Chain A
Amino acid sequence: MRNTKFALVCGITFLAIIIFFFVSMNAGFIHIPLQNVLSTLFGHGTEEDHMTIFQFRLPRIILAILIGAGMAVAGAILQGASRNPLADPGILGINAGAGFVVVLYMFLGRGTSFLATKTSVFIMPFAAFFGALCAACLIYALAWKKGRVTPSRLLLVGIGVNAAFNSGITILQMKMEPTDFTKALVWLSGTIWSTSWQSVWTLCIWLLILLLFAFSKAYVLEVLNLGDPIAIGLGTNVERERRLLLIIAVAIAGGCVAVGGGITFLGLIAPHMAKMLVGSSYRKILPLSALIGSLLLLLADTLGRVIIAPAELPVGIVISILGVPYFVYLLLRKL
């Protein structure tokens, strides 16, 4: 019974992703009719459509799907491992850490290399990933007390670290030229700025490995959710498993932030939606939240492209505006 429902929900979400995949293809500054999209995909389209779709739209859409899945799973793992229903890479300051290092890099490079040369495409993800990792280590170390990390302490420390990185970002931003400043702002707000196939493949491989690893660890999350005493009683090395899970979550989030910027709230709401739909088994929550995350980010990216066309709204802002009301609802009702 439960499993049929799980299959059904997954099927519907997957179908919705496919529908929005095509909607997103034809929406945007250049409007491409659906039949042209289809014929271009199968190799019969016009030159112009071919370029728009294969150079701009398709990589971006795939990235949105990948980042959405990654962020959602990272959020689900963080929530499970910290046993805190409100954990999210954005709220915990992991995004801010990544953002700080990226802005530092932009600042030191004086914007000359940003988005312009080949090297920055390689360096930016590493900078972001390095920042995310530093922030995560810092938060974990500061929340560590008497041999353990309690959920609420982790969250509060995260909020504090978030504020520290943000004020660092502000200091750097104030010294930037206006154009660099706007670039940094857009990046920090979360936007899928890279549309190269290279980043698609890199992120794809990165996520494939880590997501599979995460799915294989789903049972640990279930055990941890029974509470520390029971988990220890069942023979789990709680601190070690928790640390491992946190590292996986940070690695996933770091990769996503590197390509998608500081997207907040997605990692928070997708797992909750999944939990509401299929119950509290992490073996079901993880895959389903990946699907829901993809769907939401695809939706938000399409909206961000259309709302103030020809300008673009950073996708992270769309997610925040959609996500906060849901977050508030969670805060009021569920917790």
Chain B
Amino acid sequence: MKKEKKAINKASSITWMIVAIGLLLISVIVSIHLGASNLSYKDIWTSLFHYDESNAAHVVVRELRLPRAIAAILVGSALAVSGSIMQSMTRNPLASPSILGVTAGSTFFIAIALAIVPAISFSKLMFCSFAGAGLGAGLVFGLIAFAKGGNSPVKLALAGSAISALLSSLSTFISLKYDISKDLSYWYAGSISSVQPQHIHFVVPFIVIGLVLALFLARSMTVLSLGDEIATGLGQRTHLVRLGGTIAVLLLTGASVSIAGMVGFVGLVVPHIVRFIVGQDYRIVIPFSAVFGSVLLIWADMAGRMINAPFETPVGAITALIGVPFFLYLARKDGRDF
């Protein structure tokens, strides 16, 4: 009986994966197609495989639309995977990059960098973003680790919002003093509208390493999500797994924040939906999270382009509007859904 169920799960998860990847491909094509001027599908096809520099449509695809779609895929998958790692490591359904002060930390460091060197280069800003993401997550994780009877959903959310409040207060202080508030707000509003091919080249390695590390740890994550005692009992070196998980989270969130700013709630929502569909096995949950995260972000980005055309609405605001109802749903279940 049990075996049969498992077999069905495996078959159904393969079906789901094919569906998800198909959905992703369609989403990418639609997102390249739609925009200020709609491009024909034939142009998209030829620009990808028979690139012609003199054709304006081809240039638009290669220089604007494609980088943007790729950025959405990278950011979406990175955030969703880091969310699922955080949720399994902390065994806390509300864990996600935006709750854990990662984005506030990164904004804080970028504010400092912009205040000290106004014309700072992009790669240096990326570095600051990484360092800041590490700082934010480190502070919140540290706080949770030392808190008495820590790691309840409420405490995690509170520690995260307190640290975020502190860091964003400091950023506001800096931005008011050095008059960089508007620059900074473009950064943290969460947008992939102005992403450039070289930015993507810069972050791809980090995200790929992070994703591979996450897949490599997936099996241990499943064990870890059963609880520390059980994991240790099963012969797992939990500290090592946690260390690896933390590194993956920092790589993934640091990189995605540095190209897209504050894109909240993707890391919270996607893992829940995925677990609802495919179950608790992180070997399946992590790849699915990556694909679904990409799809979600591509659609959110398209919505951001459409809602107030020709102006852009930050994609972070769209994901928050999608994510908050979901967060409230989880909150109404008292965070017990795991």
Contacts and interface: CB of A to CB of B under 8 A. Distances in A.
Shortest 6 CB-CB distances between A and B: which pairs?
Answer: A156-B331, A167-B320, A324-B166, A320-B169, A164-B324, A160-B327
Given A316-B169, A321-B173, A327-B162, 7 more contacts: A152-B152, A153-B332, A159-B327, A170-B317, A185-B172, A189-B172, A189-B176
A86 B313 CA distance: 34
Nearest to A150: B334
Interface residues of B, number: 48
Interface in A154-178: 155-157, 159-164, 166-168, 170-171, 173-175, 178
A1 interface: no
B169 A160 contact: no
Contacts of A264: 165
Given A145-B332, A324-B166, A332 B148 contact: yes
A174 B189 contact: yes
B272 to A, nearest CB: 14
Interface stretch (A59-67, A113-121, A234-242, A306-314): A306-314
Pick the most buried of B147, B162, B173, B186: most chain A CB atoms within 10 A of its CB: B162
Contacts of B163: 324, 328
A163 B189 contact: no
A182 interface: yes
Contacts of B159: 328, 331
A142 interface: yes
Contact of B176 (A161, A182, A321): A182
Interface string A108-152: 000000000000000000000000000000000011010000101
Contacts of B146: 332
Given A174-B189, A324-B163, A328-B143, A185 B328 contact: no
A246 B2 CA distance: 51
Given A142-B328, A320-B165, A321-B170, A178 B143 contact: no
A227 B338 CA distance: 28
A335 interface: yes
Interface residues of A, number: 50
A149 to B, nearest CB: 11
Contacts of B321: 164, 167
A107 interface: no
Contact of B317 (A91, A171, A265, A313): A171
A296 B94 CA distance: 33
Contacts of B306: none
B283 interface: no
A335 B162 contact: no
A261 to B, nearest CB: 12
A333 interface: yes
B20 interface: no
Given A153-B334, A156-B331, A175-B311, A314 B176 contact: yes
Nearest to B144: A331
A167 B264 contact: yes
Interface string B131-175: 000000000000100111000111101110111011001101101
A186 interface: yes
A317 B181 contact: no
B162 A186 contact: no
Contacts of A162: 161
Contacts of B94: 156
Pick the most buried of B153, B159, B186, B328: most chain A CB atoms within 10 A of its CB: B328
A311 B147 contact: no
A317 B320 contact: no
B50 interface: no
A90 B189 CA distance: 21
Contact of B331 (A157, A164, A314): A157
A314 B324 CA distance: 28
A197 interface: no
B320 A152 contact: no
B155 A185 contact: no
A171 B321 CA distance: 11
Contacts of A215: none
B6 interface: no
B239 interface: no
Contacts of A20: none
